[in-house]
Structure 1
C-alpha cells in the first residue's frame, strides 16, 4: 500500500477508537476486575436515573432503561472516550418533553433516529473540534434554564398533583400548578420530602453506596409504611402499564428490549406515526437541537474525563459512536442518549480503565429490568420527583451562574441571561440559536475593534517615501465586519497624493468581503489617478488577490514583499506616469 492511502486512512475517524486503543495497550485481568466493579457501581446509579428521566419527558420508565442498555453499550463499543457513560440525561428533558406531548413516543424515537444520523455526519465530517467554539455563557445559560424547567416539571409529582397535565409553556405550567396547589397530597409530599432529605444528607457520609439508590429506597419504605396504614400513593406500578404478546401488567415489563420499528410504536393520540416529508420537516429542528446538545454534552464530558485521568479522547470517533447509539436505540424502544457527566465521574472514581466498564453498566441495567422489574414498580412517583430535583439543581450550576453574573464582562452577562430566559420562557432550540447568534455578533464586534488603519511617518528622512506617496499600515483581520471600516480611512487622502502604500504584514486573514473592499478602493483611487502598492501580504492571501483578478485589472496596483521594493516602485511610478503597473 502506498503512503498516500495510509495517510488518508489515518485521517478517517475510526469508530471504536477508545476500545481499540485499550486493547493495543494491553488489557489485563486486573483491569477487567476494576472495570467490572466500576460498571456495577455505575449501573446501580443508572437504574433510578434512567427511570426518572424517562418519566420526566412523559414516557414509560422502561424506555429510559432501554436507552441505558442499548445505547450505552453501543456507544461504549464505538465511541472515542474510554470513560464516558452514556444514557438518558437531564439536559434533554426540555427538548424531548414537547416532542412527546405533540407526537408521542413514536415521534420521540423518530427524532432520536434523525439526531443520530446528524451526529454521525458531524463525526464523519471531522467536525468534533468545532464544538469547542460554543461560548461558555451560552452553555451555562441554557443548562441553568434546563435545570429550572426540569424542577418545575417535577412539582406535580412531588406534591401528588396527579390530575393536572403540563404542557411545553413554562408560564402556563406555573399557572396550572398554582391553581392546583390546594389539592396537594400530604402523603406524597411526605415521601418526596423524606427522599429529598436523604439525597441531600447521604453524600456527606462519604459512603460508597450511591445516594440515588438510598434515597429511592427510603422513599419506597415510607410509601410501603403508608400503604400498610391504608394510605395509597402514586407509584410506577399504579401509574404505568404494559402489554406484550398478549400478556399485560403494571409497572415495568420484565423483558429485555426487543426490536420494533420506531414509527410503528404509538405516536400522537396513541396511533402509529405516518412517516412522511411533513413529519421529517417538523422534527428536523428538534433533531438538530438534540444533535447539537448531544455533541456538546458528550464532548464536554470526554474533556472532563481526560482531565481526571490524563488521557485523550477522539472527538470525531465519539460523535460517530453517539450517532450510532442514537440510530440503533430507537429500534429497541430507547430514547435519546448522550454521555452523562455525573455517571462518568462516578465511573472514574470507581476505578474504571476502559469502555468495558460502560458495557458492564449496561448489563447491570439489563439484569435489573429482567430480575427486579416487579420491585421497581413500588418506587413512588414523589421519590422520583425528589431525585430529579437534585439532578436539576446540579445541572443548573447555580454557583457558577451567580459567579459569572458578578465577574464576566457585560456582553457575556447579557448572552447568559438571554439564553437562560429564552430556555425557561420558550425552549432550548430558540435559546441556543439566539445565544449563538448574539455570541457571534459580539465576537465580530470585538474582532472589528482590533482592525484599524493609520498613516505612518518615516522616523528618518532616508527611509521616507518621496513626496506624493502616503504610507499606511493596516492591522488586524480583514473580514466582513471590519474590511469596510479599514478601507474607508484610505478614501480620505490629500489631493497631492499619487500613490498609496499599504503595509499589511499584520493582516492575518482576508475574506471575500475584504477582497471586494480592496478592489472597490483600487477602482475609486484609479479614477483619481492614484496607484496602490501593497507590502508584506502573506503568499496565501496574494493568491486570493490573483484568483479574484484584482492584479490583472487596469490601474496602478502592485503587491511586493519588502518596504524597500515599494520605495523603488513608487519612485518609478512617479517618474514615469505613463508606465503600466508591474
Structure 2
C-alpha cells in the first residue's frame, strides 16, 4: 500500500474529522497507557512515551490507515516477567530486538503466515493473559500493603491471601466507584469518555474527601515528568541478546498477531484493505525507536483502533493527532497525574481483562471435546502457571500434532473392483469375499500421502496384498500431495513388490505427486509405460500381464473377460478328449 493510496481523495474537511478522532482516541489511550505500564512493572510515564512515539510511527509507516498503536494487555505477562527477571534496562533491549524481528518478518513477507496461528492457541493465551491482568490488580483494588510481585502465578495468589488482612477501605471505596462508573456510564451516556471519567472522578473524590489515604502514582512512582526523556541507546551485548531473544521472539510474534488482527478488524469496519507486510515493518520500526526514548513494546490496539474508526477517522493523520494530543497532555498536565490513585486504575484494567478474556469463544472450543480443546486448555494453563513463551511454543506444537493426526486419518486405502472394465472411466466398488482377482489387485488411495500417513499407507497395503498378486494397480487421482516420507514408503512398497516379480501400475496421478516421483527417480523405477491417465486404460493393460492359465481354474469372475477365458479353456479341454 503506497502512502498516496492511504490519502486517496483526502480533502481539507477530512482534517477536522481526523483531528476529532485523534483527540477522542487520545482520551481513551492515556489512562490505558499508564495502566498497562504499571501492570507491566514499570513507571506509568513509560506507557505514555510508548503511546506517543509508537502511535506516531505506526500511523506514518504502517499498513493500515486506521491503526492505533500503543501498549496493550497482551504484552503485560511477558513484559512483567522480563522486568522481574532482568530489569527495565533489559526490557528495552528485548523490545529493540523484537522490533528487528518484526522488520525482518515484514521484509520476508511473513505477514500472511501469522494469520494461520490456530484459534485455540490465540484464545488460550489471550484468556490466560486476562486472568493474569485481572488477578494482578487485586492488590491495588483492595489497597493491600506490602504485596511483592512474584514471577509464578500461584506465588502471587498466596501473597494476596497473606496480605488480604491489610485491606484499605478507602482504596476499596475508590475502586468500587471507578468500577460502577465503568459499568453505568456506557449504558446511560455511551458517547462520554468512560475511561477518562472513571479515572478523573475517583481521583477528585479521593483528593477532596480523604487525601493521602490511598496510594497514588505520586507516592508509588514519584510523579510523572513533563516531556519526553532524552535519547538513550541501551547497552547490548551478545550475552544479553542470547538471554533476551526468546522473550523478544514472543513479543514480536504477539505484536505481529495483534497488530494484524487489529488491521483485519479495521478492514471489516471500513471496507478498506491493509498491507500486512508493511504493517509488520511499521510495527517493527516503532519498536526499534520507542525503547531508545524509554518506551515499552507496542502493537496495534484493537479497541483503540475501533474507537478511532467510530470517531470518524479518515486517514493515518488521526493516529498522528492522537500522539500529538497525548504529548500535549504530558507537557501540560503531567504534575496532576501524581494525584491519581492506583485503586482508580485497577478497575479499568480489570474491565479490560474481562473484555479480552474471550469467555464465549473459550467455552465454545472447550465444548467441542476435540484436539483443539486440549490445545486451548494446555495453552491457557501454561500461560497462567508457567509463562507465555512456553505456552505459545507448546500450544503451537500440540496444534501441529493434532493437525497432523487429523490429516493422517484422512488417508484412505481401499481395495476395489470396477463395474465397467472395458471403458476408460470406471466406477470402482469395494471388494467382497466372493468376488476378487487373485492376480490383479486394485486399490483406491484417497488423501495426502505425507509423513503423518505414510506408515499407515504402507502397512495397509502390505497387509492387504499378502497373497502377492501379479499386478498391483494404484488409483491415485484423489492423492492431493506426496512428501519425501510418503515417497519413501511408496518406493519401499514398489521395490518389495517388484522383487517378488510383480508389476505396479498407477492411474490418474496428479501433477504434484507425479513431479515428486520424477524427482526422486521412482517414476523411472516403476516405468513410464506403467502410468495411465485413467483406470480403464491401466486395467486393460494389467489384464494383458496376468497368467491366463491360472484364470481357467479361478471361479471368482472378477472381470467380464473372465467368462470368456473360462469358456475358452473348457473348449480346449473338450477338443483334447478322445472319442
Instruction: Note whether the superposition's TM-score is higher than 0.5.
Output: yes
Task: Tell me whether 1:550 sits opposite 2:511 in the alignment.
Answer: no
The one-character-per-residue Cα deviations of 1:507-529 (angstroms, maximum 9, x if unpaired) are: 11111111111111111111211
Task: Tell me whether 1:472 sits opposite 2:443 in the alignment.
Answer: yes
Q: Within 5 Å, which residues of 2 pair with 1:118-157?
A: 118-157=101-140
TM-score by length of 2: 0.89
Residue 291 of structure 1: aligned partner? 252
Residue 564 of structure 2: aligned partner? none
Distance in 1, Cα, partners of 2:532 & 2:133: 62
Q: Within 5 Å, which residues of 2 pair with 1:152-163?
A: 152-163=135-146
The one-character-per-residue Cα deviations of 1:390-435 (angstroms, maximum 9, x if unpaired) are: 11111112233234434x3433222222221111111111111121
Given the alignment, which residue of 179, 182, 190 partners 2:162?
179
Residue 390 of structure 2: aligned partner? 430
Residue 258 of structure 1: aligned partner? 230
Q: Which runs of 5+ in 1 are unaligned?
A: 1-16, 242-250, 264-274, 577-582
Distance in 2, Cα, partners of 1:569 & 1:403: 54
Task: Tell me whether 1:21 sits opposite 2:5 in the alignment.
Answer: yes
- 8 Å contact kept, 2:228–2:293: no
- 8 Å contact kept, 1:18–1:79: no
Given the alignment, which residue of 99, 103, 110 partners 2:93?
110
**SS of corresponding position for 2:285:** helix
Distance in 1, Cα, partners of 2:527 & 2:533: 20
Q: Across the two proteins, how many residue pairs are aligned to each other?
A: 536
- 8 Å contact kept, 2:256–2:280: yes
**SS of corresponding position for 2:455:** helix
Given the alignment, which residue of 208, 212, 215 partners 2:191?
208
Residue 490 of structure 2: aligned partner? 518
Deviation at 1:258, TM superposition (A): 2.9
Distance in 2, Cα, partners of 1:152 & 1:557: 70
Higher RCO structure (Cα 8 Å, ≥6 apart): 1
Distance in 2, Cα, partners of 1:532 & 1:120: 51
RMSD over aligned CA atoms reads 2.0
Deviation at 1:54, TM superposition (A): 0.5
Task: Tell me whether 1:528 sits opposite 2:500 in the alignment.
Answer: yes
Residue 39 of structure 2: aligned partner? 56
**SS of corresponding position for 1:491:** helix
Could you tell which deviates more after superposition, 216-225 or 535-544? Answer: 535-544
- 8 Å contact kept, 1:19–1:355: no
- 8 Å contact kept, 1:551–1:558: no
- 8 Å contact kept, 2:504–2:526: no
Residue 374 of structure 2: aligned partner? 414
Task: Tell me whether 1:325 sits opposite 2:309 in the alignment.
Answer: no
Residue 566 of structure 2: aligned partner? none
Q: Which runs of 5+ in 2 are unaligned?
A: 427-435, 549-579
**SS of corresponding position for 1:133:** coil
**Which protein shows a greater Rg?**
2
- 8 Å contact kept, 2:139–2:160: yes
- 8 Å contact kept, 1:298–1:339: yes
**SS of corresponding position for 1:80:** coil
Deviation at 1:262, TM superposition (A): 2.8
- 8 Å contact kept, 1:76–1:359: yes
Distance in 1, Cα, partners of 2:422 & 2:365: 54
Given the alignment, which residue of 510, 514, 522 partners 1:538?
510
**SS of corresponding position for 2:160:** helix
Deviation at 1:20, TM superposition (A): 3.2
Distance in 1, Cα, partners of 2:354 & 2:312: 26
Distance in 2, Cα, partners of 1:443 & 1:161: 46
Residue 364 of structure 1: aligned partner? 325
Q: Within 5 Å, which residues of 2 pair with 1:323-472?
A: 323-406=284-367, 408-462=368-422, 468-472=439-443
Q: Within 5 Å, which residues of 2 pair with 1:58-73?
A: 58-73=41-56
Could you tell which deviates more after superposition, 39-48 or 467-476? Answer: 467-476
- Runs of 4+ residues over 6 Å off in structure 1: 464-467, 554-557
The one-character-per-residue Cα deviations of 1:242-295 (angstroms, maximum 9, x if unpaired) are: xxxxxxxxx1110124311133xxxxxxxxxxx322221111111111111111
The one-character-per-residue Cα deviations of 1:172-208 (angstroms, maximum 9, x if unpaired) are: 0011110011112111111111111111211112342
Distance in 2, Cα, partners of 1:495 & 1:42: 75
| Structure 1 residues 518 and 139: alpha-carbon distance in aligned structure 2, compared to 1, 3 A threshold | same
Deviation at 1:18, TM superposition (A): 6.4
